[in-house]
């Protein structure tokens, strides 16, 4: 570089600085104004909340925040039930079209729902004084080898329903159901809201598959190679629709990730995605506006799998999506990916004559499930599965975690490990859909639980249920933790294992039973409160059909004579897994985080953003905002089902039966972390166990079986960070693959 070039560069840098400074000042001013308005809003909410007829939902709508936010400001509104529905009432509505996603006003960028991986429960407040009543439960027909009668105490809880957030650095405390009549008023179903079988067929969309790295485009009409330039939105739309007909409404990107092209210049991937989605459009194109109940409008900003939606005129609509929503293409070319979607459709059509592949596996899963709802008059639940009260749904959102993610590091493990092994449960969630809670839950208080007979207590614990409990780890316990506890800081859950430690948490019946009847030593559980549902099987038919489709595709991937078709069938089988996995996730109905982006004015002034939103980023051309939209009135919101599956899967990760029989006892061989030596467990990742000892569990390829996916039978250093863990995970998989060659 010459001195002149260096001086010119400094001048250019100063020009960038001079442009940025006014924007920074504008942003700071806006942030200050927002803080003042938020403070004013909170004061007015508290004032209006004191009115005797105030309603949390009305205040939430007017304030532009969620009901949970209102209740946090005015706790007295928390236990209020709707006057339209008396306690215990089950009210249903007529079936209507199932939307592909929640309707909303169009925004340049819109994120309709928080990813299932983001699990941030609502903070809870200090528990109030409690009165203790002890009771003992004798397992009636225990799931595991029964220990001696296990102490399970029942205890009244008078903790506040929606407490204030804990101080920074303190352990997060979970909410609870208010004591007495205030809590009983939570037990109702939403008026005129139930899951019913749809009376219409989804509209099929024509698809195209595009590798943006090579420009290869495949659709029903053939294969072409396009010149995409830098693969901007404008270049993709122009090149694709100069080739394919306008009725192709969905473009799946199979490779290239064009939305990450500018990732190096952004602190967060989401900002790079937003910049790509907001890029210039060809003449005549615009961001899509609302176009019917089964259509979403605007863009979905996701750091890795975004969705862009555009339209040209009033008749042509298109969306660009990542095929990674469905499966990892693993280097497959667009033609093979398209063949995978064809095979997926064929396998599903064997069970659903009206199957339509929708934009994502979660949308497809929910739609297929809705078509298994009983419809024959007189059949139980033919009037629909009722949706729980918003209070119960919010409680489950805050207290029912998802898959177990834990890294166990020295000194809980040796610094040098004798080996590294990864055992992953095949299609695990499909194993836990045979029973779910249906109807209105019964609240079981501590006093009510104590008054039950031992058989009634066992029946309650083995029913679909969710329990507020105080847990004591046995003295001398030297294995992994069994029950999730609210964690301080950013991590949502951890699993205490120190002998003698006591903590309060919520857990599903499957995990409570596992803690009481584990094969090593029973834990002590005190019942503080609980919700127990009637036993039903709303997911069984749906799950069985998906399992059959999965098995057919797996067999095809092993036996087909054509290599491309074998690969396509394997990818399709993974798509079926995603349909079930993410379909279950949609039942959880997390509070929606809506994001949007608005363009800066011609002079750089920041335009008005929606009420209740906060700024998240500022670029040269756009301001991006984010707003918590709370819980929608979704007829398919059943967090009790998702929570039950997740709880059962976490319990099975510790101990569960396999399909093989023990020749000595004739009973099923059990597998899981508790059947490996203490100190050998290194990590959990949803359905996988990582150990320093090679698991010797039978594998027949059935859902729930453990498949060895990684193995390094030599000494390695124990991982102490997630980065080190993922390095060992990849090395272990490569080593096992090399071993099999």
Give the highest mean pLDDT range of 303-317, 592-606, 705-719: 705-719
Distance (Å, whole) CA 332 – CA 329: 5
Query: Does residue 722 share a domain with residue 661?
Result: yes
Answer whether residue 228 is part of any domain. no
Where do we find the tokens 């991986």? 117
Query: Does residue 421 share a domain with residue 359?
Result: no
* 338 in Cβ contact with 209 (< 8 Å): yes
Question: What integer is the mean pLDDT of 296-304?
Answer: 79
Q: What are phi and psi of 378, to 5 degrees?
A: 95, -15
* 151 in Cβ contact with 111 (< 8 Å): no
The Cα diameter of the chain in Å comes to 90
The per-residue pLDDT for 137 is 41
The per-residue pLDDT for 107 is 35
Query: Does residue 711 share a domain with residue 667?
Result: yes
Question: Of the residues 62, 78, 94, which one is the last residue of a structural domain?
Answer: 78
Strands 216-219 and 206-211: antiparallel
* 278 in Cβ contact with 621 (< 8 Å): yes
Question: Of the residues 25, 56, 78, which one is the last residue of a structural domain?
Answer: 78
pLDDT confidence band for 542 (50 / 70 / 90): very high
Residue 342, strand partner residues? none
The per-residue pLDDT for 79 is 40
Answer whether residue 551 is part of any domain. yes
The per-residue pLDDT for 453 is 94
Answer whether residue 40 is part of any domain. yes
Query: Does residue 372 share a domain with residue 423?
Result: no
Tell me the per-residue pLDDT of 424-456, one tens digit each, with 9 for 90 and over: 999 999 999 999 999 999 999 999 999 999 999
pLDDT confidence band for 511 (50 / 70 / 90): very high
Distance (Å, whole) CA 122 – CA 69: 10
Query: Does residue 725 share a domain with residue 681?
Result: yes
Answer whether residue 262 is part of any domain. no
Question: What integer is the mean pLDDT of 95-123?
Answer: 35
Distances (CA, A) of 199 to 97, 193, 354, 503, 637: 7, 16, 11, 48, 19
* 231 in Cβ contact with 212 (< 8 Å): yes
DSSP state of 645: H
Answer whether residue 51 is part of any domain. yes
The per-residue pLDDT for 139 is 36
Q: Considering its fold, how many domains does the chain have in total?
A: 3
Answer whether residue 447 is part of any domain. no
Question: What integer is the mean pLDDT of 226-238?
Answer: 96
Distance (Å, whole) CA 608 – CA 611: 9
Residue 304 exposed, middle or buried by CB count within 10 Å (0-12, 13-18, 19+)? middle
Domain around 733: 416-428+653-740
Tokens encoding 18: 């001079």
Query: Does residue 736 share a domain with residue 658?
Result: yes
| 401 contacts: CB under 8 Å, gap ≥ 6 | 119, 121, 484, 492, 493, 646, 650
pLDDT confidence band for 105 (50 / 70 / 90): very low
| Higher per-residue pLDDT: 270 or 575 | 575
Query: Does residue 346 share a domain with residue 421?
Result: no
Residue 289: is its pLDDT beyond 80?
Answer: no
The per-residue pLDDT for 140 is 36
Answer whether residue 73 is part of any domain. yes
Question: Of the residues 589, 608, 624, which one is the last residue of a structural domain?
Answer: 589
Query: Does residue 422 share a domain with residue 350?
Result: no
Tell me the per-residue pLDDT of 140-170, one tens digit each, with 9 for 90 and over: 333 323 333 344 555 444 333 333 333 334 5
pLDDT confidence band for 673 (50 / 70 / 90): very high
Answer whether residue 500 is part of any domain. no
Tell me the per-residue pLDDT of 357-414, one tens digit each, with 9 for 90 and over: 999 999 999 999 999 999 888 889 989 999 999 899 999 998 998 999 999 999 999 9
Query: Does residue 734 share a domain with residue 673?
Result: yes
The per-residue pLDDT for 131 is 31
Tell me the per-residue pLDDT of 186-212, one tens digit each, with 9 for 90 and over: 999 999 999 999 989 898 999 999 999
The per-residue pLDDT for 295 is 47
Query: Does residue 366 share a domain with residue 423?
Result: no
Residue 624: is its pLDDT beyond 80?
Answer: no
Distances (CA, A) of 42 to 65, 69, 73, 204, 592: 10, 10, 7, 46, 21
* 279 in Cβ contact with 233 (< 8 Å): yes
The per-residue pLDDT for 489 is 56
């Amino acid at each position: 570089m010459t001195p002149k070039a260096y001086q010119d560069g400094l001048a250019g840098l100063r020009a960038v600085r001079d442009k940025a400074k006014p924007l920074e000042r504008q942003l700071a001013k806006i942030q200050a104004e927002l803080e003042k308005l938020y403070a004013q809003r909170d004061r007015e909410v508290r004032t209006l909340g004191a009115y005797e007829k105030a309603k949390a939902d009305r205040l939430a709508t007017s304030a532009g925040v969620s009901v949970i936010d209102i209740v946090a400001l005015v706790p007295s509104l928390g236990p209020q039930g709707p006057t339209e529905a008396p306690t215990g009432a089950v009210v249903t509505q007529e079936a209507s079209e199932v939307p592909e996603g929640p309707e909303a006003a169009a925004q340049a960028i819109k994120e309709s729902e928080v990813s299932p991986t983001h699990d941030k429960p609502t903070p809870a407040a200090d528990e109030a004084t409690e009165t203790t009543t002890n009771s003992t439960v004798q397992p009636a027909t225990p799931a595991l080898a029964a220990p001696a009668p296990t102490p399970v105490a029942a205890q009244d809880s008078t903790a506040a329903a929606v407490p204030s957030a804990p101080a920074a650095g303190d352990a997060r405390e979970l909410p609870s159901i208010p004591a007495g009549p205030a809590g009983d008023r939570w037990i109702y179903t939403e008026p005129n809201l139930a899951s019913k079988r749809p009376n219409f067929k989804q509209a099929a969309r024509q698809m195209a598959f595009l590798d943006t790295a090579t420009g290869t485009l495949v659709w029903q009409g053939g294969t072409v190679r396009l010149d995409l330039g830098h693969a901007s939105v404008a270049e993709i739309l122009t090149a694709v629709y100069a080739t394919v007909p306008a009725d192709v409404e969905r473009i799946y990107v199979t490779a290239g990730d064009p939305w990450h092209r500018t990732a190096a210049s952004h602190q967060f991937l989401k900002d790079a995605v937003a910049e790509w989605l907001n890029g210039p459009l060809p003449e005549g194109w615009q961001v899509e506006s609302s176009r019917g109940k089964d259509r979403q409008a605007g863009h979905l900003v996701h750091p890795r799998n975004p969705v862009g939606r555009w339209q040209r005129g009033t008749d042509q609509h298109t969306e660009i999506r990542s095929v990674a929503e469905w499966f990892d293409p693993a280097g497959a070319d667009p033609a093979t990916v398209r063949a995978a979607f064809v095979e997926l459709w064929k396998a599903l059509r064997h069970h659903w004559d009206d199957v339509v592949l929708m934009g994502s596996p979660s949308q497809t899963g929910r739609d297929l499930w809705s078509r298994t709802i009983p419809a024959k008059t007189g059949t139980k639940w033919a009037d629909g599965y009722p949706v729980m009260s918003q209070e119960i749904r919010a409680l489950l959102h805050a207290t029912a975690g998802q898959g177990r993610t834990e890294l166990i590091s020295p000194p809980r493990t040796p610094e040098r490990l004798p080996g590294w092994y990864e055992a992953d449960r095949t299609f695990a969630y499909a194993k836990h859909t045979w029973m779910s809670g249906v109807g209105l839950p019964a609240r079981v208080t501590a006093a009510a639980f104590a008054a039950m007979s031992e058989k009634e207590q066992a029946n309650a614990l083995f029913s679909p249920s969710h329990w507020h409990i105080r847990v004591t780890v046995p003295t001398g316990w030297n294995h992994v933790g069994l029950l999730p506890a609210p964690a301080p800081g950013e991590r949502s859950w951890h699993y205490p294992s120190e002998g003698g430690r006591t903590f309060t948490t919520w857990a599903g019946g499957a995990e409570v039973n596992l803690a009481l009847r584990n094969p090593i030593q029973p834990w002590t559980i005190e019942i503080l409160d609980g919700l127990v549902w009637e036993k039903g099987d709303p997911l069984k038919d749906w799950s069985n059909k998906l399992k059959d489709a999965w098995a057919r595709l797996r067999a095809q991937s092993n036996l087909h004579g054509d290599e491309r078709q074998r690969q396509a069938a394997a990818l399709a089988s993974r798509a079926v897994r995603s349909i079930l996995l993410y379909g279950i996730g949609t039942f959880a109905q997390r509070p929606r985080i809506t994001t949007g982006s608005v363009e800066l004015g011609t002079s750089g002034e920041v335009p008005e953003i929606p009420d209740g939103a906060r700024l998240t980023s500022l670029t040269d051309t756009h301001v991006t905002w984010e707003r918590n939209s709370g819980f929608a009135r979704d007829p398919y919101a059943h967090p009790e089902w998702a929570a039950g599956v997740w709880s059962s899967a976490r319990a099975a990760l510790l101990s569960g039966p396999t399909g093989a029989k023990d020749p000595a006892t004739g009973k099923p061989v059990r597998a899981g972390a508790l059947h490996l030596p203490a100190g050998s467990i290194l990590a959990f990742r949803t359905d996988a166990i990582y150990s320093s000892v090679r698991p010797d569990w039978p594998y027949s390829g059935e859902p729930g079986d453990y498949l060895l996916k990684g193995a390094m039978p030599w000494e390695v250093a124990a991982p102490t960070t997630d980065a080190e863990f993922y390095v060992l995970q990849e090395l272990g998989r490569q080593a096992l693959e090399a071993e099999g060659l």
